[in-house]
Structure 1
């Protein structure tokens, strides 16, 4: 069964395709100008979300879920949420544009990129494991480790696409499964510690009464090996939380250096103070700073 998703005016499809095609050898995504196919395990069910993007110019995307089983309503809703995530439809960019319109630092930059959005991972678990994998290493190496993690912990769908693992699948790995494939011991231990906590229910990633995003952030910080950058990046990519402070991000600091015209990057403390000006829209401020490092001629 096909379902439709309305796309906003000025939707920047190229941003979405670029984010999900960063791994040239991707095993869990298949990307073309007209289609995005994403494999992911949800509630133990390996499924592929197939999004047709041919109607993006007319403000419409269609998706179908290939699971091999009838989806219960709760799982169907999770799949729809994943579609909203991967298409970057969680945060409306306009409030930040209004907020920063006359800002001396980001005003002109934001006006050049009015439709810029935050593209997310399909699930919160994917976002947080990706944040752990990417700690303190360069992007190409992080992408290769992510691919390894998918092949070690994920499930191959009947279509041949691999499905990004859920917590239960990842928690079955041993540290040696990862360290034998270029993961550092510390990174492997943190990743599997996190997966085990989620799989057991000890770490609840579902927001709700008595479990706010702030509560989830504090619980994540209590996990050995997870620090503020990982939490903020995970909240950004996983929940589309609008006020994440990425002051520990090297690329954010590099973007600020260029905008400020200074000879060195601002340190983390100064970066945090600069980003505070944009609360409660710090996530979109980060998006514009990241994009400033890779401008498009058409933007």
Structure 2
């Protein structure tokens, strides 16, 4: 593969905080889909059946992406530009949310601490759905371990300067697996069924990001996702939050959310769903960001 270099400048909002975004991206040593070195993010991706590596840094003018591996073209540069904007949710104006935080009894305790943090998305629907399924009812640490095994077993890799960079397994690859192949990686039989089933469902064209976005209304998208075997309310909300960037997505049963509120309120028990529903009335239209910032408070 021929090596080129091409700089892609991406403007950021006035309140963008790159360092806070790096905190989220670097929260697991088992992360396999990007590498952080200093203030640089390295990520492999596939475009038009070719593998690339990009390097993202931040300077006074915004984000800068450089293609380190792969053939440069206007089309791939545009793809990277659009991908990074979506990945960091750069088109979102957070001023209203920051004002909301200052007035909310729960969120005001962390108001001003992480300003400029954006929801770090998962632009690919298949990755978002299967990652959410992987994380169901297990610790985040073990979820990352399973994802690493899945990616290194069935994804593609690019070698650059002696280091391996991985892409997420394709829909086609996972759709053709047998359950025992995932069981060998310590997936439960049920999760293996769900993940392979999602791949087959998407391979047939029954589900796509475009089709979901065409539904326009949050409730319709949520309902469409929960029709899929293995996708409950939490998984649907997580995908709507992280992939479709729907600000009203609210994974109310999330353990991390419960732990964050328990910590902030100095509670000796986890909050009940009725309490969460009551407290979250103030977050209307910004539930996803409220949850994301509460997750951030756990990384102290």
Q: Which residue of 1 aligns with 2:10?
A: 5
Task: Report the Cα offset of residue 200 of structure 1.
Answer: 1.6
Note if 1:183 corresponds to 2:187: yes
- 1:1-299 mapped onto 2 (5 Å cutoff): 1-42=6-47, 45-53=49-57, 56-65=58-67, 68=70, 73=75, 77-157=78-158, 159=160, 160-206=164-210, 207-210=212-215, 212-295=217-300
1:110 is displaced (CA, Å) by 2.0
CA distance in 2, matches of 1:66, 1:211: 37
In the alignment of these two chains, the number of paired residues is 291
Task: For residue 112 of structure 1, report the CA deviation from its aligned partner.
Answer: 3.0
How far is 1:33 from its partner?
1.9
For 1:10 and 1:203, the matched residues in 2 are separated by 35
Mapped partners of 2:280, 2:128: distance in 1: 22
Q: In 2, Cα distance between the equivalents of 1:195 and 1:71? A: 30
Which stretch shows the higher mean deviation, 169-178 or 189-198?
Answer: 169-178
Measured in 2, the distance between the counterparts of 1:184 and 1:197 equals 20
Q: CA deviation at 1:142?
A: 0.3
Alpha-carbon RMSD across the aligned residues, in angstroms, is 2.5
Q: 1:40 to 1:52 in 2, by over 3 A?
A: closer
Question: What is the CA-CA distance between 1:227 and the residue it aligns to?
Answer: 0.7
- Partners of 1:48 and 1:65 within 8 A in 2: yes
> TM-score normalised to the size of structure 1?
0.86
Query: Does structure 1 retain, via aligned residues, the 8 Å contact 2:155–2:169?
Result: yes
Aligned to 2:3: none
Cα pair 2:134 2:191 within 8 Å, conserved: yes
Q: List alignment gaps of at least 5 residues for structure 2.
A: 1-5
- Paired residues of 2:10 and 2:81 also in contact (CA < 8 A): no
- Secondary structure at the aligned position of 1:61 is classed as strand
Q: What's the TM-score, normalizing by structure 2? A: 0.86
**Aligned 8 A contact 2:123 2:244 in 1:** no
Q: Name the CA distance, whole Å, in 1 between partners of 2:117 and 2:63.
A: 18
Conservation of the 8 A alpha-carbon contact between 1:87 and 1:120: yes
Structure 1 contact 170–192 (Cα < 8 Å) conserved: yes
**What SS is found at the alignment partner of 2:36?**
strand
Cα drift, residue 218 of structure 1:
1.4
Distance (whole Å) between structure 2 residues aligned to residue 257 and residue 170 of structure 1:
38
Secondary structure at 1:293 match in 2: helix
